[in-house]
Amino acid sequence: MGSGGHNRKSKNQKIIEGTFRKDRNPSNEPNPPKISDILKPPSHLGKYGKKMWKKLSKTLYEEGLLTVLDDQALELICEAYDQYRQAHEAVYYIRDAQGKRKRRSLGEYMEGRNSQTMPEYTAMNRHFNNIAKLLKEFGMTPVARNRINLPEKKEGVDPMEELLKDEV
């Protein structure tokens, strides 16, 4: 689903692509500082959320995409992922009489149920959709990445440094 109209790009993305124009950029655009170190996961996250946090925060930090304002959005992604995985396990796994964890098919889960009696399945789908929406905000889906047109990096030339030289 499109976001309506043209997809906006950040100032940094325009600079990297070489399409930045001062006359088309808001003069008071927020520019939060990038984080200085990889963030630790919030203690309230479950095991799946903490694993996702460690993976995403490391990658986003290394790419320079994580600012001091992004930790809450990252937390939402990881929380939704943790809840998705918990609901996924409730749908696809069951304990047998001996207490052993056994995989079941979706058909086995849905047998004799309707949409009113499948809360785990409904929750799993809701969290899946939330994750998909949030991942797009960080450019972490193939389509979102495809909208970013990065030119080849020039050795020794930093686009941000060039911009700062022009402003002085």
Delimit the domains of the chain by residue range.
Answer: 39-167
What average pLDDT does the segment 79-100 reach? 92
pTM of this structure = 0.68
pLDDT tens-digit map of 28-67:
766 778 888 888 999 999 999 999 999 999 988 887 778 8
pLDDT at 143 exceeding the cut of 60: yes
Buried b (16+ CB within 10 A) or exposed e, 125-148: eebeebbeebbeebbbeeeeeeee
* Between residues 112 and 154, the one the model is more confident about: 112
pLDDT at 8 exceeding the cut of 70: no
